[in-house]
Amino acid sequence: KKRIVSGVQPTGSIHLGNYLGAIKNWISLQNSYEALFFIVDLHAITLPYDAQLLSKATKNTAAIYLACGIDTSKASIFVQSHVRAHVELMWLLSSATPIGWLNRMIQFKEKSRKAGDENVGVALLTYPVLMASDILLYQSDFVPVGEDQKQHMELTRELAERINNLYGGRKWKKMGGRGGAIFKVPEPLIPQAGARVMSLTDGLSKMSKSAPSDQSRINLLDPKDVIANKIKRCKTDSFSGLEFDNPDRPECNNLLSIFQLITGRTKEEVARECQDMNWGTFKTLLADALIDHLHPIQVRYEEIISDPAYLDGVLLEGATKATCIADATLNSVYQAMGFVQR
């Protein structure tokens, strides 16, 4: 079986962008792939954060994975920091990462600009090396993510190739290493629709956990009335009728796409159904569809979060399985890079 890995940061609350761009796709992929899903707590400390909230946010995120339908008989769920190899491999990888590659990362540029110099820790810069480590440790074939992770995935692939060239191949064989490449070069799996869910208050910026206004996103755990209110107040336009793909109507495209994904209809069906609708009618439909879709997830979430022993068990089992795979890769990297074997 081919392998997939992916993860979400436990910062802020998980929103519709995380769900439609990533988690929802994991649910169908877990049937065809060996799957590992982690909560990337080590990534969550790359910007100033509240240490008192981290562990709760990490567990809540794990509960959301389960509530959304990750099935532990098919996939492993674990906390990134529980598998020490992530940080260890990151150090090895960072020795072969040109600093220029990191300086070019769009997310680094955006986040460091927003945070201001005094708040930019070294980890914000080296973040993509940790992400590469998360992926390469598991010799992953595919990584299901939203579009904003494309550049990080490109760096991961380049880094894998670079390490393979520097330390793999014949050199490695001579040292007694097995197999061809040290790392498999992974590919991103970015969905056709949902890869970039936009803000409810501005159709040109993406829905994000860090946007100051909560009105800009639907969180998976938002209560009914909050969802209804956010959709009621979201930004629209004054064109008549509704349509996809009109560059002058980014909000319209975004809301129709959300409706399409959440109801499981095709784009053509939605385009036809909604072409003559006014905003009032459509907003009611969309709010109801969101509430119906999220309700069962919220019910399961409450069940899971009220059973901490169950959740701890899932995370322990996941970390145990992941550690096995990760340690094997880590050992071979140490060997290929010339370290004394333990």
Catalytic sites, residue numbers: 111, 206, 209
Is residue 159 a contact point for ligand TYM (CB under 6 A)? no
| Of the candidate residues 135, 227, 228, 336, the single one contacting ligand TYM (CB under 6 A) | 135
Is residue 197 a contact point for ligand TYM (CB under 6 A)? yes
| Of the candidate residues 4, 8, 163, 326, the single one contacting ligand TYM (CB under 6 A) | 8
Residues for the chain: how many in total? 342
| Of the candidate residues 157, 206, 230, 249, the single one contacting ligand TYM (CB under 6 A) | 206
Site residues for ligand TYM, window 278-307 (CB under 6 A)? none
Q: Which is nearer to ligand TYM, 220 or 291 (CB)?
A: 220
Is residue 318 a contact point for ligand TYM (CB under 6 A)? no
Q: Is 215 helix (H, G, I), strand (E, B) or coil?
A: helix
Q: Which is nearer to ligand TYM, 110 or 307 (CB)?
A: 110
What is the rounded distance in angstroms from the CA atom of residue 232 to the CA atom of residue 211? 19
Please answer whether residues 252 and 283 qualify as being in contact, where contact means their C-beta atoms are separated by less than 8 angstroms.
no
Give 290-295's long-range contacts (Cβ < 8 A, gap of 24+): 290/16, 290/218, 290/227, 290/231, 290/258, 290/262, 291/224, 291/227, 291/228, 293/262, 293/263, 294/218, 294/220, 294/222, 294/227, 295/224
Alpha-carbon torsion angle 272, 275, 277, 281, nearest 10:
50
A 10 A CB-CB count for 191 gives: 17
Is residue 6 a contact point for ligand TYM (CB under 6 A)? yes
Residue closest to ligand TYM (Cβ): 21
| Greatest extent of the chain over all pairs of C-alpha atoms, in Å | 70
For residue 64, which of 15, 6, 134 has the smallest C-alpha distance? 15
CB of 302 to ligand TYM, least distance (A): 23
Size of the site for ligand TYM (CB under 6 A): 26
CB of 241 to ligand TYM, least distance (A): 26
| Of the candidate residues 4, 22, 39, 220, the single one contacting ligand TYM (CB under 6 A) | 22
- Chain residues binding ligand TYM by CB under 6 A are 5-9, 17-18, 21-22, 40, 43, 131, 134-135, 143, 145-146, 148-149, 152, 195-197, 206-208
